[in-house]
Amino acid sequence: LLRDLNTIIRTILILFILIDASNSQVSFSKCLNGPSSSKIPTPSPHFTIRAGRSINEPALIDETMREDDIEQICIIGSGNWGSAIATILGRSAARLPFCNDEVRMWVFEEEVSLPSEESNDVPAKKANLSDVINSRHENIKYLPGVKLPTNVKAIPDLKEACLNATLLVFVLPHQFLPKLMPIIRASVHPSRCRGVSLIKGLGFDKRTKLPVLISQSISIGIGDGFHCGVLMGANVANEVAMGRMCESTLACDYGNDEVNERTRQIFDERLNFRVARIGDVAGAEACGALKNVIALGAGFIDGLKLGGNTKAALLRVGLLEMAKFCKIFFEGVESGTFMESCGMADLITSCYGGRNRKCAEEFAILRLRYESSDTFDPEGCNRLWSKLEQDILNGQKLQGTPACKEVY
């Protein structure tokens, strides 16, 4: 029965790939396109590369390349999402002829307790996280139970991790970026390096009081014409790591079609992690930050037990407000972006799963439980959010709460 079910699922996926979506149209709010139209451009089919090629066609990449043309991938960050994307990048690097087999992952070194197979009375042994990852091929703190490819190497020295890298994958809280930039800038390949940010947040210009894209801050921080795209989508880290089928959106334009396609292929796994490329970096990145605000609202709704109808209303209005915010504050945002995985799909999965929804639900439950308490003054709220991060996320940080402050 399980084999038959697996066959059915794979058949559905193949049919999905073959569907011709070119004539479909999606209605959306006038706030996206102005009063003259209530339609948005049909998003490209997810199985189509934006240059017009099917993923089943051979990529236009010269595989008879010199050693100088080989890609060196470096992941900057090793938390839950960083370790999950390492499973994809490790397999891709081993498979693709234009990649160095080794994928370096910079680890903020910390001491972790090793799982004990003995009695609970025996004190747990301690070890450095990087050593554990390299010996066990598992991030036992942030992604326990998932084996990383053996070609993913954890490196606690940022300079060593970034040495001559041609593709930087940023996946860490953006508050840590400024102090890392000088080391990164001095270590990467001097002429061929580019970046992809998986960071879901927004910066803030204290002088202009306007939101700033994290990818833009990275490009400015590294300088010398460095270009940074983004990867955003409905990608719950644990599900990605377990190989469950999902989609993602790579938004980038490195000024070269071959480099754009090569970057897409590095992230893409045809049956597990399907990546479509668009050029709208601002729209994709802003969606990735703003959906976390809506996800907090979804968690509050779940904690208050207000039901599915209320959450559906939140998602509808939330998507419209995300689109309006993007159109107001960023240039070149395309309406079709909101129908990609980085838009509607990411919003849906974040509001039904994900860390922001989960923590917000618990916050609402505790708020009801201690309604008459003074625990919920501003300082008390901050303490509670920090406690939820520690208890539920094992010390990792929420993106939704700082995003709320930044957007406000």
Catalytic residues: 291
Spatial separation of the C-alpha atoms in residues 352 and 257, rounded to whole Å: 36
Q: Give the amino acid at 222.
A: I
Spatial separation of the C-alpha atoms in residues 244 and 124, rounded to whole Å: 33
Whose CA is closest to 10, among 247, 272, 248?
Answer: 272
Helix 355-369 / helix 281-304 crossing angle, nearest 10 deg: 30
Cα-based distances in Å from 211 to 29, 160, 295, 408 = 24, 33, 20, 10
For the chain, give me the number of helices (H) and strands (E)?
Answer: 15, 14
Spatial separation of the C-alpha atoms in residues 198 and 334, rounded to whole Å: 20
Phi, psi of 196 (to 5 degrees): -135, 125
Element at 212 (helix H, strand E)? strand 211-213
Spatial separation of the C-alpha atoms in residues 116 and 140, rounded to whole Å: 12
